[in-house]
Structure 1
Amino acid sequence: MSRVLLAGAFAMLFGTQASATDFPLTGSNTKVEFVGTKPGGKHTGGFSNLDGKATVEGTEPVSLKIDVTIDTDSLYSDDTKLTAHLKAPDFFSVKDYPKATFKSTKVEKTAAGYAITGDLTLLGKTKGVTMPATVTAGADALTLKSEFRINKTDWGMTYGKGKIDDEVTLKVSVTAKK
Structure 2
Amino acid sequence: MKKILIAAALTASTGLVQAADYKLDPTHSFINFKTGHLGVSWLQGRFNDISGNFSWDADKPNDAMIDITINTASVDSNHAERDKHLRSDDFLDVEKYPTASFKSTGFDGKTLSGDLTLHGVTKPISFEVSKVGEGKDPWGGYRAGFVGTYDLKRSEFGIDKNLGPAAEVIKLELNVEGIRK
Q: TM-score, normalised by structure 1?
A: 0.83
Shift of 1:23: 1.0
Match of residue 65 from structure 1: 65
Partner of 2:139: none
- Asked if 2 retains the 8 angstrom alpha-carbon contact of 1:49 and 1:70, the reply is yes
Q: Which residue does the alignment assign to 1:152?
A: 154
- Alignment partner, residue 23 of structure 1: 22
How far off is 1:173 after superposition?
0.9
RMSD: 2.5
Question: Contact 2:25 / 2:177 at 8 angstroms: preserved in 1?
Answer: no
AA partner of residue 152 (structure 1) = R
- The AA in structure 1 aligned to 2:80 is T
Q: How does 1:1-178 map to 2 (within 5 A)?
A: 3=3, 7=7, 16=14, 18-38=17-37, 39-57=39-57, 59-109=59-109, 114-135=110-131, 136=133, 140-162=142-164, 164-178=166-180
Instruction: Assess if the C-alpha contact under 8 Å between 2:36 and 2:42 holds in 1.
Output: yes
CA contact (8 A) 1:25 1:54 kept: yes
SS of the equivalent of 2:167 reads coil
1:62 offset after TM fit, Å?
Answer: 2.6
Q: Is the 8 A contact 2:19 2:60 kept in 1?
A: no
Aligned-partner residue type, residue 160 of structure 2: T
Paired residue total: 169
Q: Is the 8 A contact 1:43 1:78 kept in 2?
A: no
Q: Distance in 1 between matches of 2:31 and 2:91?
A: 17
Segments of structure 2 that go 5 or more residues without pairing to the other structure are 137-141
Partner amino acid for 2:88? A
Given the two structures, how large is their TM-score scaled by the length of structure 2? Answer: 0.82
Residue 19 of structure 2 contacts residue 63 of structure 2 at CA under 8 Å; is this kept in 1? Answer: no
Measured in 2, the distance between the counterparts of 1:150 and 1:77 equals 17
User: How much identity, in percent, do the aligned residues show?
Assistant: 26
